[in-house]
Structure 1
Amino acid sequence: MDSQTVTLTALGYALVGMAYTAFVLRLWLTGYLRAPRNPSAVYLFGAVASTALWGWLELVVRDGRPLYWLLLGILADVLRYGCWYGFMLTLCRSSRNGKLPQGMAWLPWLAVCIIAFGVLAPFIGLLNIVAAGDAERLLLISAMALPVLAMVLLEQIYRNVTEDSRWNVKPLSLGLAGTFLFDLYLYSQAVLFKRLDSDVLSIRGAVHALMVLLLLLSTTRRNDWIASIRVSQKAAFHSATLLVAGAYLLFISAVGYYVRYFGGEWGRALQVGVVFSALIVLMVLAVSGSFRAKLRVLVGKHFFRYRYDYREEWLKFTQTLSSNHSPQDMGQQVVRALADMLESPGGGLWMKSTGEPVFRQTAHWNLVTTLDKEDADSPLCQFLAVSGWVINLEEFRSYSKRYGDLTLPLWLHSIAQAWLVVPLTSGGELIGFVVLARARTTIDVNWEVNDLLKTAGRQAASYLAQMRATEALLEVRKFDAFNRMSAFVVHDLKNIVTQLSLMLKNAKRLHANPEFQQDMLMTVENSLDRMRQLMLQLREGATPPGTAVGVDLGAIIQRISAVAAKRGRQLEVTLVDKVITRGHEERLERIIGHVVQNAFDATDPSGRVWLTLDRASGQARIEIGDTGHGMSEEFVQERLFKPFQTTKQAGMGIGAYESFQYVQELGGKILVKSALNKGTLVTLLLPLFEVQQESDLNVLGAS
């Protein structure tokens, strides 16, 4: 190293010594070692003190001291890692029995081995034991192994800490992760290239000194650090994966070194080739579903009492079922959710056909499609419905007596991948079953797997039953909408039939009258146009064709008055002002005409029916009154605007309902005042459609 690099390195370790010495004094003054002593506090004090000692020893080594000072510095480095191991393992202990969770019981032994290896490695080099191999190489590998295990322990703490304790442990995790990752980078690079990077080594002390700020912040939050910790299978799986990857990289580093050592001139090229090939293999294993499945089964089988983390499994299962974007995808989501529980690569869903007592394949995922049907009263379906068992086809082939007199259909035998048959029952009824393909790894289908699949099958069945009920409800709603629209059409056809019947009745008496002939042609033409519109409405829906436009209400009222006059009835019309509203002219005319016709029907020929058009409160107002029979208050409030409710003997009760719905669509209102034997007043309030007769430019020019 040059003088500047040596100076930078010395300053970094001086910072480590001063910072951690100050940290030790603070812990002492705050009573971290007072009785009763908390084990985590003792280990933390030891880790901070040994780090301070390591910093001062490394500073002394930079002054050119004898070799044993370097040995003391290395041992101090191993000691501080040992104290951090003890601190993190203490945090992982259960608050109830003081023991590590079952999945972590092996970690203390691994920590002891790595610490022992770290202590022995410098003595091997000092004693020049040739049989152990290259002493410098062993020293670098041992230094690399220390941060690898430290990162595994730190990951266990942060992944499994409760939410309320994560705030306490977050600065600690960040500070330790910074120091461990830096050391891992430094020594992994040294193992690969058989030398320490002087630039990285020169700032090692400064990086460790900066991390003390985060550690200090953690000590100000909570003395007991975390209330409790529980190791989940997911965290154990990730930790095992990280540990396997670290061990694999250490092994490849050693292999690479010996390849380079014995490779002669080709040694460096061979080393690069070996390392690159090993990284490719590691990537292949990382994305391999079979490898991950084998590792997950290994972790669950050997480190936990139960194979499954039921909370994680249920959350994942529910999320998979809820992620479908359409009812058509629900079947495949059910298959995937069940398959993921057992590392199965595929499966198929059989459900009961609508209106047919057979089960057919309705969804499949990475499984062959089959058109074979299974009768609902077949031995397979009856066995699934009555027992609710999960059928293990491999067990059935070797020991069929466990399933009684069950016989399997030929189509199920023909599916080479078939492994398990999971019943889907809801409300005691078999609504379907799932056939899962053989798992990627060997899985013992024991009582735990059977219980999990049966419970998950019931949950999936409830989703499928709900989906079918929703589809049936949508169909009912569609039929309801069609029936409602048909009622409107029938009501309009009744009015057309009434007009044509009246015309035919008068034709016998006035068929030779030219005016009657002209009026008859107009009536037939209008009736034909109206029937065409009804056909279009049936085809396109309940909304009338065309868009809402400005409609002159005065012109509509004049036409209605003329029609009433031809029928021998007088409508007293008062038009205060020209009023234009927004809507469909033909439909507005039908609604106003319907109200007028109701007034005529309820009023004797000697009575009065009147209509007034004006503006009120920024709205178009149409008042239609009569002196007829009237309606009760109860009928107006409860029955008037409901379909199929009427006071007429031959009526259908659709016209008032249709009028109310359409006026509301336009943003208007219908108000009714009525009294028995006194008459009725119907007020239609419609939005105004203002038409400006003059341009704004003309107005500005005039001013």
Structure 2
Amino acid sequence: MLEVAYWGYGLAAIAYLIFGVYAFLAWRGGPAGATLLGAILASCLWALASAAYARTDNPLLFGLCGVLDAVRTGAWYAFLVMLLRTISDRPARWPAVLAGVVVVAQVVSLAIDMSGAAAASPLRPVFAAWLAQAVVGLMLVEQLFRGVPAASRWAIKPLCIALGAGYVFDLYCFADGSLFGRLDTDVWAMRGIAHALLIPLIAMSGARNPSWTVRMSMSREMVFHSTALAVSGLYLLVISAAGYYIRYFGGDWGRALQLTLLFAGLVLLGMLLFSGAQRARLRVFLNKHLFPYRYDYRNEWLRFTQALASAGGDLGQSVIRALADLVESPGGSLWLRNADGRFSMHARLNQPSSEVSEATDSSFCCFLDHREWIISLEEYRLRPAQYGELRLPEWLSVMQDAWLVVPLKGSGSLLGFVVLNAPRAPFEIDWEVLDLLKTAQRQAAGYLERMQATEALLEARKFDSFNRMSAFVVHDLKNLVAQLSLMLKNAERHKDNPEFQQDMLETVAHVESRMRGLMGQLQEKRSIDPPRLLDVVDIARNVCRSKRGQLPKVELKEEIGGSVEVLAHPERLERIIGHIVQNALDATEEDGIVSLRVAGGDAGRVQIIVEDTGCGMAPDFLRERLSRPFQTTKTSGMGIGVFETRQYVNEIGGALRFDSEVGRGTRVTIDLPRGNRGSARQTPEMEPVNG
């Protein structure tokens, strides 16, 4: 047994050392914490000396063990006496005096025993002194437990159980030694392990008593898994013992029955370990009996926030799961406003779908909106008067497993609510659960509000895109109608002129082509023509030809020899140049000048320049309003021609520049990069076109 004693006291020394280091790091000052640290240190040294004695059997080490045991006893006595003084306004002096006498008696009796003076006595004084320390220790623990108010005993109860159990073990050990004049080696060998097993209870009391200023905390997950592991080990030991008994007394069937029992036990253990209901029951039990609060708020909040942040595209289910995990619920349903303004099921988790809806002005919704209470359906059925005028809707009363209704109240009115299913294990609803759910629902409501705002923004952007496209189409139609109106106006005077008739046919064909292009854009939601290499001179000629019936006549100046190609959409490039030319015509009197020039720019560039001698534009309009949509100086204009022009010129890598002076005219320069055959080959369906 000395080998068992060596390992037992060695493990106790390691356990006390770890506990002492942790307590020292958590110490925030104060006499109670310092005394506790002293008791832990003395216990560690005592266990270490006992392990050394078990290994060497040296009489001097036995004496050292006795001295350190007395020091350890005195340290724990001092801690208990200090706690007794904190719970009484007029503490009695006898506990401290009695504790001091016992410690002195331990040291004196040990000295007598080591000197051999009491060798002939059947009742060795050292055993009597150690027996007295156990009895006095139990008295101090009993005084502490009785002195603490009943409402506060939960905080001190683990310490009293730990020290009381240790003193009971010592009482048995040294009572046996006093009766027989020697220690039972087996009992003494197990003393170290017995005291080491009490450390978690002492740590638990340290975590429950901040006044000790030793801020200890235990991981709930670690406690949960450790408890599950310990219970599993105990279960396997019981199964093994039962199997051994069956094999020993089962005769011919013993071996078969033992294997059957072991296999069935392992299957049952696996079912229990993977059972969500059993895990929930264990978690509730540990939170209720081992911790001052039911929740580890830091971990719960991190987990809740992570669940909402990682929702992906299904935020509704994530909200249900995050709220359900707080109360061990397997699922539920989320109800939000639908297009009709009623609350309907938006998402569900482990719950059948439902087509019912609830009016926003019903008694149920008004109660959730104004009171913001979490409704316990079980409590409502037992005590409906607590909920005032609340009337549950029929669909909720018949919903299977419905347990809690959690309102989702955002920054404004009621956003929705979550119906949670009954938990896997019995779950008590108290103030702590209600406060946590209320805080969590506001966080969830904030996420849902942002989701709805994002969806509304996307829908608004789609409408904005549609409205912008419609504005461009209306702008083009206005220009086409203007061409047809001008043609009809001139038809009264020139309808018999063959040249006018030819121009009229070309204008109608041009309008028909443009109308088809606009219809294609509306139906296909894309540009009809792909980008291709275009001859800018031919595009300029087409623009001048389309404006031929207007005054002043547009003068085309080709300052580049040969063709000049750019990579663009033919319809769009012709349209934006036509916008600029039309603006120049609108701003210029009939006797003024409007010119369209195609000139060479910097290396690899080409410039399209439109100049007029019209009214010009003010500098502040050029600087602040010209390129913004729906800004114009014309009474009948829409203000999107220049905006579209700048957008498209930038899209194909060009630049747009305006130079204007009030009363003298305007010059608009479109600077574009020249196209080449290499870039054309990189774009599918490209081919050079002329006109």
TM-score normalised by the chain length of structure 2: 0.69
In the other structure, the counterpart of 2:177 is none
1:373 pairs, out of 349, 357, 371, with 357
Secondary structure at 1:534's aligned position in 2? helix
Mean Cα deviation higher: 44-53 or 334-343: 44-53
Q: Whole-Å Cα distance in 2 between the matches of residues 112 and 493 of structure 1? A: 97
1:659 CA drift (Å): 0.4
Show the 5 A alignment for 1:3-152.
106=158
In the other structure, the counterpart of 1:600 is 585
Q: Whole-Å Cα distance in 2 between the matches of residues 585 and 46 of structure 1? A: 96
* Distance verdict in 2 for CA 1:606–1:396, change over 3 Å: closer
Q: Whole-Å Cα distance in 1 between the matches of residues 272 and 390 of structure 2? A: 41
Q: Whole-Å Cα distance in 1 between the matches of residues 240 and 443 of structure 2? A: 49
In the other structure, the counterpart of 2:146 is none
In the other structure, the counterpart of 1:290 is 277
1:566 CA drift (Å): 5.3
In the other structure, the counterpart of 1:130 is none
1:644 CA drift (Å): 1.1
Secondary structure at 2:601's aligned position in 1? strand
Show the 5 A alignment for 1:138-217.
none
Q: Whole-Å Cα distance in 2 between the matches of residues 107 and 259 of structure 1? A: 40
Secondary structure at 1:345's aligned position in 2? coil
In the other structure, the counterpart of 2:296 is 309
Secondary structure at 1:616's aligned position in 2? coil
Check conservation: 2:605, 2:674, Cα contact below 8 A: yes
1:667 CA drift (Å): 2.4
In the other structure, the counterpart of 2:514 is 530
Show the 5 A alignment for 1:547-626.
547-565=530-548, 567=550, 569-576=553-560, 578-604=563-589, 605-626=591-612
* Distance verdict in 2 for CA 1:509–1:238, change over 3 Å: same
Check conservation: 1:419, 1:437, Cα contact below 8 A: yes
Check conservation: 1:104, 1:303, Cα contact below 8 A: no
In the other structure, the counterpart of 1:182 is none
In the other structure, the counterpart of 1:492 is 476
1:323 aligns with 2:306: no
1:369 CA drift (Å): 2.5
1:256 CA drift (Å): 3.2
In the other structure, the counterpart of 1:188 is none
1:257 aligns with 2:244: yes
CA deviation string 1:507-553 (max 9, x = no partner)? 33333333333332222222122112212222333x42343222221
- Aligned residue pairs total 554
Check conservation: 1:663, 1:670, Cα contact below 8 A: yes
Mean Cα deviation higher: 254-263 or 296-305: 254-263
Secondary structure at 1:530's aligned position in 2? helix
* Distance verdict in 2 for CA 1:344–1:508, change over 3 Å: same
1:479 aligns with 2:479: no
Q: Whole-Å Cα distance in 2 between the matches of residues 506 and 628 of structure 1? A: 24
Partner letter of residue 656 of structure 1? Answer: V
Secondary structure at 1:571's aligned position in 2? strand
1:673 CA drift (Å): 1.7
Secondary structure at 2:637's aligned position in 1? coil
Secondary structure at 1:319's aligned position in 2? helix
1:109 CA drift (Å): 6.0
1:147 CA drift (Å): 14
Say which one has the larger Rg: 2
Mean Cα deviation higher: 104-113 or 360-369: 104-113
* Distance verdict in 2 for CA 1:307–1:492, change over 3 Å: same
The two structures, once aligned, show a CA RMSD in angstroms of: 4.6
1:686 aligns with 2:672: yes
Check conservation: 2:166, 2:198, Cα contact below 8 A: no
1:236 aligns with 2:220: no
In the other structure, the counterpart of 2:486 is 502
Q: Whole-Å Cα distance in 2 between the matches of residues 452 and 231 of structure 1? A: 21
In the other structure, the counterpart of 1:407 is 391
Q: Whole-Å Cα distance in 1 between the matches of residues 569 and 435 of structure 2? A: 63
1:486 CA drift (Å): 0.8
In the other structure, the counterpart of 1:338 is 323
Q: Whole-Å Cα distance in 1 between the matches of residues 245 and 200 of structure 2? A: 28
1:44 CA drift (Å): 5.9
* Distance verdict in 2 for CA 1:398–1:574, change over 3 Å: same
1:562 CA drift (Å): 3.6
1:338 CA drift (Å): 1.6
Check conservation: 1:639, 1:645, Cα contact below 8 A: yes
CA deviation string 1:576-606 (max 9, x = no partner)? 2543222211111111222122223323333
1:412 CA drift (Å): 1.6
* Distance verdict in 2 for CA 1:109–1:668, change over 3 Å: farther
* Distance verdict in 2 for CA 1:478–1:533, change over 3 Å: same
Check conservation: 1:561, 1:573, Cα contact below 8 A: no
Check conservation: 2:618, 2:660, Cα contact below 8 A: yes
In the other structure, the counterpart of 1:640 is 626
TM-score normalised by the chain length of structure 1: 0.68
CA deviation string 1:122-151 (max 9, x = no partner)? xxxxxxxxxxxxxx9x9xxx99x9999799
Check conservation: 2:581, 2:610, Cα contact below 8 A: yes
Partner letter of residue 366 of structure 1? Answer: N
Partner letter of residue 387 of structure 2? Answer: Y
Specify every segment of 5 or more residues in structure 1 that has no aligned partner in the other structure, as ranges.
1-12, 24-34, 61-71, 91-96, 122-135, 157-226, 696-703
1:382 CA drift (Å): 1.9
* Distance verdict in 2 for CA 1:246–1:530, change over 3 Å: same
Secondary structure at 2:675's aligned position in 1? coil
Check conservation: 1:609, 1:627, Cα contact below 8 A: no
Q: Whole-Å Cα distance in 1 between the matches of residues 675 and 517 of structure 2? A: 25
1:403 CA drift (Å): 1.5
* Distance verdict in 2 for CA 1:228–1:616, change over 3 Å: farther
Q: Whole-Å Cα distance in 1 between the matches of residues 426 and 500 of structure 2? A: 93
1:468 aligns with 2:455: no
Partner letter of residue 445 of structure 2? Answer: A
Identical pairs, percent: 46
1:42 CA drift (Å): 5.6
* Distance verdict in 2 for CA 1:345–1:103, change over 3 Å: farther
Q: Whole-Å Cα distance in 1 between the matches of residues 157 and 663 of structure 2? A: 93
CA deviation string 1:51-78 (max 9, x = no partner)? 7777779xx9xxxxxxxxxxx9xxx9xx
Check conservation: 1:602, 1:629, Cα contact below 8 A: yes
Q: Whole-Å Cα distance in 2 between the matches of residues 501 and 148 of structure 1? A: 103
* Distance verdict in 2 for CA 1:240–1:570, change over 3 Å: same
1:623 CA drift (Å): 2.7
Check conservation: 2:529, 2:571, Cα contact below 8 A: no
Check conservation: 2:613, 2:664, Cα contact below 8 A: yes
Partner letter of residue 274 of structure 1? Answer: L
Secondary structure at 2:677's aligned position in 1? coil
1:38 CA drift (Å): 5.8
Check conservation: 1:368, 1:415, Cα contact below 8 A: no
Partner letter of residue 603 of structure 1? Answer: T
